[in-house]
Amino acid sequence: MSEYRCQNCHQPMIGKFCYQCGEQKFDKQHRRITILFSDLFESLYSIDNRFLKSTIVFFSKPGFLAHEFCRGVRVPYVKPLSFFLIINLLYFIVSPMTDFSLPLKSQALQPYAALVNEVVEKYLVVNDVSFEELAARYDPLSQTLAKSLVILSVPLLLPFVWLANPSRRFYLIDHAVNALYTYAFVLLWPMIIICFLEILELFDLNVSNRQGFLPALLIPYYFYIVLSQRNQYQDGWWMSSVKATVIFVGIIVSHFVYRFLQFGIVWWQIT
C-alpha cells in the first residue's frame, strides 16, 4: 500500500492532518456537495466563537489578549488587527458620539486652526466660492474617508506606547498590539455609552445634555489603559498608572494629529 502524500505540499502524511502545512487528508467524503455547507458553518462558527471569546476577555481582563498574542498564544482568539478592524466597522455602523469625521467648520477650531483658516480663505477668494459650498463638498467626503482613516490613529499612538515601555526586552510588535487594543477600546466605549443613552430614551428618560456624559466617556479610558499596561507588561499599579498617563496623553495628541491628516487628505481630494 503506497503512502498518502499531502495534496498541497506533497509531504508524506501520517494521520488526518499534514504536519508540514496543516492540510486535511482528502478522501471521498470531501467530494460531497454537503461539504460546502459544513465548511461554511464551521468557518462562521469559528469566527463567531473566537470573536465572542475575544470580546469577553477584552473587557474582563484588559491587556491579557495582547500578552497572550505576544507570548505565542494566538489560536483561541481573533488576531489583534482583525479584532480592531471588526470594531472599526461596528463603530461606524452604530455611528456613536464621535468627532473622527470632523466637518470643515470644526476643523477651523482646532489647535492648528491658523493654518487651516489660511488655506481655506485663500481657496475661497481665488475660486470665488462660498464657505457653505466648499463645506458641502468637504463634509460628505470627510465622513466617508474617516471610516478608513481612523486606523492611522494606531501608528500615531505607537510612539507613546513605546515611550511608556522603553525596555529592550519588548519588541515593536508588543507595542503595536497594545496600541491596536487600546484604540479598539477607544472606539468601543462610545458605542456602549450611546446604546445606554438609547435605552434611557426607550423608557422616556431623555438625556438632553449628552456632553454631561463626557467624564463617563474619558475616565474609563484611563482605567482601561492602567489595567492593560499591568496585564500585558506585568507592572505594578503605580508604574502602570504612570504609563497610562503617558499613553492617555498620546491618545489626545494622536487624535489631533489624525484630525490634521484627515483635513489634508480630504482637502487634497476636493481641490
How confident is the model over 110-123, as a mean pLDDT?
91
How confident is the model over 224-230, as a mean pLDDT?
96
Q: What is the 3-state secondary structure (H, E, C) of 225-250?
A: HHHHHHHHHCCCHHHHHHHHHHHHHH
Q: From residue 88, how far is each of 181, 187, 242, 266 by CA, in Å?
A: 11, 7, 28, 20
Is the pLDDT score of 44 beyond 70? no
Reported as a single tens digit per residue, the pLDDT across 177-199 is 999 999 999 988 888 877 777 77
Q: Which residues pair with 104 in a beta bridge?
A: none
User: Which stretch, 35-49, 97-111, 174-188, 205-219, has highest mean pLDDT?
Assistant: 174-188
Amino acid at 153: S
The pLDDT assigned to 160 comes to 96
- CA-nearest of 268, 251, 244 to 100 is 251
How confident is the model over 124-149, as a mean pLDDT?
87
Instruction: Write out the three cell numbers for 40.
Output: 461554511
The pLDDT assigned to 1 comes to 47
CA–CA gap between residue 230 and residue 248 (Å, rounded): 15
Q: Output DSSP code: residue 6.
A: -
DSSP 3-state of 63: coil
Query: Backbone phi, then psi, for 17, in 5-degree steps?
Result: -125, 150
Beta carbons within 10 angstroms of residue 103's beta carbon: 14
Q: Which residues pair with 24 in a beta bridge?
A: 17
Does the pTM exceed 0.75?
yes
* pLDDT level of residue 208 (50, 70, 90 thresholds): low
Is the pLDDT score of 200 beyond 90? no
- CA-nearest of 213, 255, 14 to 111 is 255
How confident is the model over 52-75, as a mean pLDDT?
90
